[in-house]
Amino acid sequence: MPAPSLPELDEKLYFAPFADVIPPETAIITSPPHHPTTVRHAGQARAILVLGPGRSGTSTLARALAALGVYLGKDFRRPVRKNPRGNQEEVHLLKLSKALRNSVGVRADSVRRIDPSAFRNARTLELTRRLSDAIGRHFGDSALWGFKYAGTGRILPVWLELLPRMGIEPSFVFAYRNPVSVASSRAKLDAARGRIEHSQLEWLAHVVPTFNQLHGQRVVVVDYDRLLDDAETELRRIAERLQIAVTAETEAGIQEFQRGFLRSDWRHTRFGDADLADDASLNPLVRRAGLLLSRLASDRVSLDDASVWAEWQEIEADHRDQDATLRLIDKMNADTRRARWWDITRPLRLAWNKMPLLRSR
């Protein structure tokens, strides 16, 4: 199914400046090494978006793009407990992306699909205009730049409409990590979201509609475990699929990424295709989507194969059939959150969980 189109915008308004000031305390002014790279089409800027659910290695993949010479910006969100080496998220685009997600009525932990009509409200259009201005101000001089936010897939229709309007060619890195590993990693940070039943539904919401919109786009699927096992091979694979020139500078970046950035203790669990295939308790859609993405990430099948997209269309249709149930789950979760706020100790526990640096002193 093609991505829903946004309403036609007034070009004068579309590129008009909007102030989106980020408080200094929310950003750090340090960036990974940036090596200039030859672009495929002279004179046309390119943007590479990192897609995939949270806890799938999206931050590591963003840092891999930086090693290949992709400019990620200079104002980054500060490192947090779940990503102590940094999220690689440019704060201006991050702030607007979260606002866009909120404007279509979903939370980070929502499991329902987003109706295409949700992208046609006035608030979303205003934020889209602000996003275009932020891109121009912070990335306008870059021939090849990238952005990572784990929720980008949820608002992908905005990006697919916006980038061509700005004369920017989009490409995508899709982060795949075995969904059982995702749930295990999530559970260490948030017990509720890490429950295997909820994590699977959240994984599907971030994966199925997103990947369906990438048909015909330039995409490379990267397995987080394979990246940790052999970073050099995976970075060269990314460069080849996205047509990023590998220069002497990027050769150095690849080596620095593999030897100086990656750490072996990042991976606490590892599940493979057999775990997906043999576990009868898993959601069948998670099994089908996960196994197909794994085959794509290991080049056992190709995105040029029509049968891949035919299989994904079946997954998409089955997921769409579940939307009424998914909406009910989101509503029940919202009711539970409201009820829990009557517990006077909950705000104190939330504040405590948000202050890891104070607790470590």
- Residue 283 domain flag: yes
pLDDT at 31: 47
| pLDDT for 337 | 84
**Which structural domain, as residue segments, surrounds residue 312?**
11-321
Residue 2 placed within a domain: no
- Per-residue pLDDT tens for 145-200? 999 999 999 999 999 999 999 999 999 999 999 999 998 888 888 887 878 899 99
Decide if 52 contacts 176 (C-beta within 8 A): yes
- To the nearest 10 degrees (0 to 180), the angle between helices 306-321 and 196-212 is 130
CA angle 30, 81, 357 (to 5 degrees): 90
What is the model's pLDDT at position 21? 31
Residue 192 forms part of a structural domain: yes
Token look-up 């475990």 returns 225
| In-domain check, residue 284 | yes
The model's pLDDT over 273-324, given as tens digits with 9 standing for 90+, comes to 999 998 888 999 999 999 999 999 999 999 999 999 999 999 999 999 999 9
Q: Indicate whether 356 belongs to any domain.
A: no
The dihedral through the CA atoms of 136, 142, 143, 147 has a sign that is negative
pLDDT of residue 93: 98
Q: Which two tokens stand for residue 178?
A: 């075995």
Of 151, 142, 181, the C-alpha closest to 49 is: 151
Going by C-alpha positions, the residue among 133, 142, 181 that lies closest to residue 294 is 181
Is 41 part of a structural domain of the chain?
A: yes
Q: Is residue 345 part of a domain?
A: no
> Which CATH number fits the domain that encloses residue 281?
3.40.50.300
Q: Which two tokens stand for residue 173?
A: 């890195």
**Residues, the chain:** 361
Q: Is residue 164 part of a domain?
A: yes
**How many domains are contained in the chain?**
1
Count CA within 13 A, CB hemisphere, residue 208. Answer: 29
d(CA 297, CA 302): 9
> pLDDT below 70 — which residues of the chain?
1-43, 80-86, 341-346, 354-361
